Structure formats: structure tokens, C-alpha cells
Amino acid sequence: MSYFWMLVFSAAGACLGSFLNVVADRLPQGKSIVSPPSHCESCHRRLSASDNIPIISYLRLRGRCRYCGAAIPQRIFWVEIGTAVLFALLFWKYGFSYHLPVMMTYGSILIVLTVTDLEHGILPNRIVYSAIAIAFAVALIAHFLRPGGLPDLKSAAIGGAIAFFFLFIPAIISRGMGWGDVKLAAFIGLATGFPLVLLALFLSIISGGLVAAVLLLLKIKGRKDAIPFGPFLSLGTLVALLWGNDILAWSGFA
């Protein structure tokens, strides 16, 4: 039964991933996310329903527009796959619970921000501020309903403050960290709460540092190139949300 639902949630994730692609494409350009309907970015022909099936259409069309042959960005495919896998994992972890819709929302937000940061170097305020408001509302609800496992107001506030100041200080003394990262950190702290926020930050720094070192060693990036930190913050947070309590228990911290 649970495999059936994992499949259902991964299909839902693939469809939502398709929408997240649209959001990540259009929001940084200030375009509407609802109209016009899906079209080829190159020849502007509208996609038929059968060419708009998440994951499957990309594979069947071999990553090219049916009409003009222009390449469809591979990212479209990876976001659809990634959201599908994430939703299956979230269902496997949380089942039908208060957590599931909350974690699906957080995961979707982090995926969109990863794409906009990688492709445009920005974390749009509209998404980050909405995310902060959602995480605050979740903490408020958790405070009164006590569903267990979700950070309550105190835990979220401490987490938000720690993450905010942790990135605020490097942001004022160097140009490596952007204000978008600082605001994203505030969301991450609210969403994970204390002490999970420490793990989320730790994982972000370790993964970001490792990737930056590899990029520098392979000379793909130079010392002066900015390497976006948003994707690593997102990755660290997703891992902390999914397995954080297990990791903390295993490492003897909690």
C-alpha cells in the first residue's frame, strides 16, 4: 500500500516539478506564472498536452522541441525527476501527517530557489518572503496544535535567529554572501528550528566548501568567481529535514 502511495506522490511531484520549472523561469523575469500556457521558448509554439507530460515528454522528444528542434534545457527534466524523488521520500518518511504538506511546500520552495540561484544568481524576494511567512505560520500552528516533530514558536525563533546572524555577519564583512542568502537562512532556521538548524548550516557549509574546492582545483571557477550558496543551503536543509533527527541521534548530539 505504501509503495502505491509513494508512486502516487512521485507522480504528483513530477507534475509539480513541471510547474516549479515555469515559476523558476518566469518569476526572475517578472512574467506571469499562469499565462501564457507552456510553449517552446524558441519558436513560441504552444505545447500539446501529450508534449507536456512531466519526465516522459522530455525523454520521448529526446530533449528537443517537436516543431523547431531547439534544445529543451536539461534542467526541466532534472527538476521534474528531483521533485518526484523528493515527494516519494517525503511520503515514505512522513506518511499521511501534518508534516507531509508542510515538507512538500518547503521542498518546492527550496527547489525553485536552487534553480533561480544557479541560473540567475538571485533568490527572488517574493519567494523568500512568502517562505518566511509560511514557516512562521507553521510554527504558530505547531505551537498551539502540537502535532509533534514540527518546530514550535520558540524552536523556530531560535533557529531563525541563529541562521540569520550566522550569514548576516559574513554578508556585512564580505561580498561573497548576498542578502538573498541571509533572508533564505532566516527561512531555513524557522523551518528546521533548533537544534536542526545547526545541522542544516553545517551540511550547507561542508557541501558548499567541497564543491567550491573541486571547482577551483579543476579551474572551472577562479578565486574571484561567485559560487552561489543558495543551492547548498537548500540541500543542507532538505537533508536536515529528512534525516536530521536520525543524524543527530546517531552522532550523539540529541
Task: Between 41 and 225, name the residue whose CB sits nearer to Zn ion.
Answer: 41
What cell was used for 165?
546572524
**DSSP letters along 185-234, please?**
HHHHHHHH-TTHHHHHHHHHHHHHHHHHHHHHHTTSS-TTS---SHHHHH
Task: Between 47 and 182, name the residue whose CB sits nearer to Zn ion.
Answer: 47
Quote the least distance from Cβ 57 to Zn ion, whole Å. Answer: 13
Distance, CA of 68 to CA of 72 (rounded, Å): 11
Quote the least distance from Cβ 84 to Zn ion, whole Å. Answer: 25
Task: Between 71 and 206, name the residue whose CB sits nearer to Zn ion.
Answer: 71
Quote the least distance from Cβ 76 to Zn ion, whole Å. Answer: 13
Task: Between 67 and 98, name the residue whose CB sits nearer to Zn ion.
Answer: 67
Q: Which helix (H) or strand (E) holds 38?
A: none
Distance, CA of 201 to CA of 203 (rounded, Å): 6
**Interface with Zn ion by CB under 5 A: which residues?**
40, 42-43, 65, 67-68, 70
Quote the least distance from Cβ 73 to Zn ion, whole Å. Answer: 13
CA distance to 15, 111, 151, 240, per residue, from 199 (Å): 30, 19, 14, 6
